[in-house]
C-alpha cells in the first residue's frame, strides 16, 4: 500500500510539473 501511495505522489508531482508548463 505504501508503494502505491508513494507512486501516486510521484505521479502527482509529475502532473504538477506538466500542469505548470501547460498553465
pLDDT score at 7: 92
**Cα separation, 7 vs 23, whole angstroms:** 24
For position 19, what pLDDT does the model report?
76
pLDDT value at residue 10: 92
Q: Which residues of the chain have pLDDT under 50?
A: none
Q: Which H, E and C letters describe 1-23, residue by residue?
A: CHHHHHHHHHHHHHHHHHHHHHC
pLDDT computed for residue 23 by the predictor: 56
Amino acid at each position: 500500500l505504501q508503494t502505491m501511495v508513494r507512486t501516486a505522489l510521484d505521479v502527482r508531482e509529475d502532473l504538477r510539473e506538466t500542469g505548470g508548463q501547460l498553465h
